[in-house]
């Protein structure tokens, strides 16, 4: 397959999805509410369990938002169904800025494959893209391979003998790995988990032989030698691991996957409040200590505008729909 399909996107915080359907996404101005916002703690629903890349972003950014907003931003992890459980809760919240949701690309792709009780593009307002991190292919050190080429050859000799972890059915990790398997002509066994934190014990023990996950989720274990990295899913080599070949260099044409994290607010959240949240997020990810901590694990702070994030979300849905069709991805 020589056509490039770029899969994934950068971390986003509450960007106005109104771009997808302007009339339905119209927002009240709400200048009065914004002038005093916030007057109480803000609940940040995180669409994953503790221990993964999304949780890492939430824990790093939320204290900065608490400082700048003058009210505590409380992290509330809600794992399950690739973030769909969190989305159901957030979609029904009062649109006053006191409930927001930090999500990843997995929630977008989940909605492509599954019917949901919410519409990500109708029931939410986009605030800003927060951060982005490339995907990295890792294996357990017990697996006798040292390159992507060797992994593919090993998998072809042992079809359906290698287990791979994902963060849930129809998650970004699920679709990305199925796309890799399809492109490489191999058969792998999918083992879904409720987040990276739940998958790591089996990845480290060897029960799971390989994974394609965000670099921020697993690279500390690569540094410690508990996991072996084979390639990174960027167009060019990454600063965090310049010694690693890209998946394209390793022989998987057109394979780029970037995990993004973003913050959404319930539909009809006043635009003035959305703009305030966006400005604070953009400022938070630019703070030197945040930027340096992101860089340590190969993550980049973004802080995009609501309009930019909304356009990004639309493009993500279109790109991942192509991948689902090409790789014939289905949920179990």
Which residues make Cβ contacts (< 8 Å) with residue 156, sequence separation at least 6?
Answer: 185, 186
Evaluate whether 262 touches 103 at the Cβ level (below 8 Å): yes
Q: From residue 253, give the alpha-carbon distance in Å to each of 128, 176, 233, 268.
A: 31, 13, 11, 42
Residue 17 has pLDDT above 80, yes or no: no
Task: For residue 137, give the nearest of 261, 2, 234 by alpha carbon.
Answer: 234
d(CA 257, CA 176): 7
- Burial (Cβ within 10 Å: 0-12, 13-18, ≥19) of residue 40: exposed
Q: Is this structure's pTM higher than 0.85?
A: no
126-160 pLDDT per residue, tens: 999 999 999 999 999 999 999 999 999 999 999 99
Q: What is the predicted pLDDT for the residue at 128?
A: 98
- Domains located in the chain, CATH noted: 5-133+258-327 (3.40.190.150), 134-256 (3.40.190.10)
86-132 pLDDT per residue, tens: 999 999 999 999 999 999 988 998 899 888 999 999 999 999 999 99
- pLDDT: is 236 or 9 the higher one? 236
Q: What is the predicted pLDDT for the residue at 261?
A: 95
d(CA 35, CA 37): 6
> By percentage, how much of the chain surpasses pLDDT 90?
70
Q: What is the predicted pLDDT for the residue at 76?
A: 97
d(CA 253, CA 300): 24
Which residues make Cβ contacts (< 8 Å) with residue 230, sequence separation at least 6?
Answer: 137, 138, 139, 145, 146, 147, 148, 151, 244, 250
Mean pLDDT of 16-24: 37
Residue 32 has pLDDT above 70, yes or no: no
Q: From residue 64, give the alpha-carbon distance in Å to each of 58, 67, 128, 283, 299.
A: 10, 5, 15, 9, 17
Which residues make Cβ contacts (< 8 Å) with residue 280, sequence separation at least 6?
Answer: 64, 65, 68, 69
Phi, psi dihedrals of residue 318, rounded to the nearest 5°: -65, -45
d(CA 246, CA 310): 29
Evaluate whether 175 touches 316 at the Cβ level (below 8 Å): no
Q: What is the predicted pLDDT for the residue at 276?
A: 97
Residue 291 has pLDDT above 60, yes or no: yes
Residue 26 has pLDDT above 70, yes or no: no
Q: What is the predicted pLDDT for the residue at 325?
A: 85
Q: What is the predicted pLDDT for the residue at 4?
A: 43
- pLDDT: is 237 or 9 the higher one? 237
Residue 169 has pLDDT above 90, yes or no: no
Q: What is the predicted pLDDT for the residue at 14?
A: 38
Question: 3-state DSSP call for residue 74?
Answer: strand
d(CA 206, CA 199): 11
- Burial (Cβ within 10 Å: 0-12, 13-18, ≥19) of residue 144: exposed
Q: What is the predicted pLDDT for the residue at 5?
A: 42
Evaluate whether 232 touches 247 at the Cβ level (below 8 Å): yes
Q: Where are the beta strands (DSSP E) in 60-123?
A: 73-77, 99-104
206-233 pLDDT per residue, tens: 999 999 999 988 999 999 999 999 999 9
Task: For residue 72, give the nearest of 43, 103, 36 by alpha carbon.
Answer: 43
């Amino acid at each position: 397959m020589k056509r490039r399909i770029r899969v994934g996107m950068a971390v986003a915080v509450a960007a106005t999805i109104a771009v997808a359907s302007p009339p339905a996404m119209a927002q009240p101005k709400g200048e009065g509410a914004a002038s005093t916002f916030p007057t109480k703690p803000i609940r940040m629903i995180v669409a994953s369990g503790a221990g993964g890349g999304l949780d890492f972003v939430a824990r790093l950014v939320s204290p900065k938002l608490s400082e700048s907003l003058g009210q505590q931003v409380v992290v509330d992890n809600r794992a399950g169904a690739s973030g769909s459980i969190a989305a159901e809760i957030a979609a029904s919240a009062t649109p006053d800025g006191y409930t927001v949701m930090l999500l990843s690309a997995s929630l977008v792709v989940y909605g492509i494959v599954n019917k949901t009780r919410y519409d990500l593009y109708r029931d939410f307002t986009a605030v800003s893209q927060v951060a982005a991190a490339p995907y990295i292919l890792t294996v357990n050190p017990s697996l006798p391979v040292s390159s992507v080429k060797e992994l593919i050859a090993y998998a072809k000799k042992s079809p359906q003998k290698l287990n791979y972890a994902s963060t849930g059915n129809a998650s970004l990790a699920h679709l990305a790995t199925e796309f890799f398997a399809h492109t490489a002509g191999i058969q792998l066994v999918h083992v879904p988990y409720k987040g990276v934190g739940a998958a790591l014990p089996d990845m480290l023990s060897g029960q799971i032989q390989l994974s394609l996950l965000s670099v921020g989720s697993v690279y500390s274990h690569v540094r410690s030698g508990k996991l072996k990295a084979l390639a990174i899913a960027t167009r060019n080599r990454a600063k965090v691991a310049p010694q690693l070949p890209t998946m394209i260099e390793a022989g998987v044409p057109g394979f780029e996957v970037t995990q993004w994290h973003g913050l959404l607010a319930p539909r009809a959240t006043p635009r003035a409040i959305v703009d305030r949240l966006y400005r604070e997020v953009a400022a938070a990810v630019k703070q030197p200590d945040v930027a340096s901590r992101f860089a340590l694990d190969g993550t980049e702070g973004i802080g995009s505008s609501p309009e930019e994030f909304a356009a990004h979300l639309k493009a993500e849905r279109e790109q991942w729909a192509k991948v689902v069709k090409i790789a014939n991805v289905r949920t179990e």
